[in-house]
Amino acid sequence: MLSFDVNLPPSRYAESRRAAEFFDRTIGRLRALGGVTAAGAVEYMPLSGADSSTGFFVDGRPMPEPGEDVRTHYRSATPEYFRAMGIPLARGRTFTDGDRAGGPPVALINETMARYWRGDNPIGRRMAITIEALRLQPSGPPRFDIPAAMREIVGIVADVRHGGLQADPLPEMYIPFAQRPVGSMTIVVRTANDPLAVARDARRVVATIDKDQPIANVATVSERLSASIAQPRFNVLLLSVFAAMAVLLAVVGVYGVMSYSVALRTREIGVRIALGGQARDIGGLIVRQGMRVALTGLAIGLVSALALGRVMSGLLFGVKATDPVTFAAAGILLATVALAACYLPARRAMHIDPIAALRNE
């Protein structure tokens, strides 16, 4: 998927009709390019950082009280935008070429906004947004003409994380571009070929319609997605390096301390062997005593990590601060290291000459 922005200058496209004609012709010629399977445009591209919201009114329901204003994020979109972006239709229908200026006003909503109807089917219901219902007057305060701004909901589309991958989906409303033309749109082209190769054709298509009109922010949708998570990705990389260093220090520290504690008992081991102690029993004793200390420290560490992990909950995505798999993996790793640190020195001690051990000190 290739995307690029087109910002028509108001001086040349002051009439909304001219803006609508420009985008209709541009998208039509983009569809005709070889390998292009879908082309559409939207007012605010997901992950672009641009958005707009307004209040709304539902036909048959009382107007919200002051301070209880419910809002929706609205944007104009062309009929094939949803197919180009791969946004599935949940219920009803998407826009068609018949949803044009002068026709019945319609709208699409996303699944999050559909929950406003509390289980009822919103398709076929009518609603109006504040920005379209507001009427400015030469003299006097502005007024609302809600009946004239009513739109019929004809479909429900899947949610899109417009603000970022970590942001929850917001209530969204899509309006047919032909019924609300704007001069700034992002065009999305889905192609079976290399999307960057289509960029050259896109510039040529726009130039044939308006030779003075540039396109901006040319990028694949994958590149936009990657750019939107650049900072979280850097945080993950940085924290991963620190975490790896912490694990390495913990492993080396645990192994070193346990090995040293066993080495200090070399003379004791020699005495036990000299008095007839079995090597297997002595090894088991050393491992049990060492693991008792290690498991006590591990339990204290896990409880501390459980308490301090909540501080980092804001940096996590798709996993909880108390994720049992993460805690279990860390515990098993350190317990295994402690077991090896107890067993390997004990194994060597079990095979030493008692005389050499007694001479150790």
Mark whether 27 and 158 lie in a shared domain.
yes
pLDDT at residue 168, as a whole number: 87
Mark whether 196 and 118 lie in a shared domain.
yes
Segment holding 296, helix H or strand E: helix 279-308
Range scoring the smallest mean pLDDT among 1-10, 63-72, 197-206, 283-292: 63-72
With a cut of 80, say whether residue 239 has pLDDT above it: yes
Token digits for 166? 């970590």
With a cut of 80, say whether residue 120 has pLDDT above it: yes
pLDDT at residue 70, as a whole number: 81
> Distance between CA atoms of 163 and 166, rounded to whole angstroms?
8
DSSP string covering 126-153, please?
Answer: EEEEHHHHEE--SSS--EE-HHHH-EEE
Token digits for 259? 């090995």
With a cut of 80, say whether residue 76 has pLDDT above it: yes
Mark whether 49 and 133 lie in a shared domain.
yes
Average pLDDT, the chain: 88
Identify which has the larger pLDDT, 96 or 345: 96
Mark whether 163 and 251 lie in a shared domain.
no
Domain boundary among 211, 228, 245: 228
Average pLDDT estimate for 72-88: 96
Mark whether 197 and 96 lie in a shared domain.
yes
Range scoring the smallest mean pLDDT among 53-67, 122-136, 156-170: 53-67
pLDDT at residue 360, as a whole number: 57
pLDDT at residue 31, as a whole number: 93
Mark whether 196 and 83 lie in a shared domain.
yes
pLDDT at residue 251, as a whole number: 79
Express each pLDDT in 138-194 by its tens digit: 887 888 888 999 999 999 999 999 988 878 899 999 999 999 999 999 999 999 988
- Of the pLDDT bands very low, low, confident and very high (cuts 50, 70, 90), residue 320 is confident
Region at 47 (left for phi over 0; alpha for psi -120 to 50; beta for the rest):
left
pTM of the predicted model as reported, rounded to 2 decimal places:
0.73
Mark whether 241 and 191 lie in a shared domain.
no
| Tokens 């901006």 found at | 216
Domain that holds residue 289: 231-358
Number of structural domains in the chain? 2
Amino acid letter for position 196: L
- Which of 61, 79, 80 is CA-nearest to residue 70? 61
With a cut of 80, say whether residue 265 has pLDDT above it: no
Segment holding 114, helix H or strand E: helix 111-114
pLDDT at residue 90, as a whole number: 95
Range scoring the smallest mean pLDDT among 123-127, 178-182, 289-293: 289-293
pLDDT at residue 316, as a whole number: 73
pLDDT at residue 205, as a whole number: 94
Mark whether 29 and 170 lie in a shared domain.
yes
Token digits for 159? 């949610």
Mark whether 166 and 245 lie in a shared domain.
no
With a cut of 80, say whether residue 65 has pLDDT above it: no
Mark whether 237 and 200 lie in a shared domain.
no
Reduced to 3 states, what is the DSSP secondary structure of residue 131? helix
Express each pLDDT in 4-42 by its tens digit: 999 999 999 989 999 999 999 999 999 999 899 999 999
Mark whether 24 and 100 lie in a shared domain.
yes
146-180 b/e with 16+ CB inside 10 Å = b? beebbbebbbbbebbebbeeeeebbbbbbbbbbbb
13-36 b/e with 16+ CB inside 10 Å = b? beeeeebbebbbebbebbeebeeb
Segment holding 185, helix H or strand E: strand 184-191
Domain boundary among 228, 244, 274: 228
pLDDT at residue 67, as a whole number: 65
pLDDT at residue 313, as a whole number: 75
Cβ(99)–Cβ(176) under 8 Å? yes
With a cut of 80, say whether residue 200 has pLDDT above it: yes
> Distance between CA atoms of 297 and 295, rounded to whole angstroms?
5
pLDDT at residue 337, as a whole number: 83
> Distance between CA atoms of 285 and 265, rounded to whole angstroms?
12
Domain boundary among 209, 228, 247: 228
pLDDT at residue 191, as a whole number: 93
Pairing of strands 53-58, 89-92: unpaired
Mark whether 62 and 77 lie in a shared domain.
yes
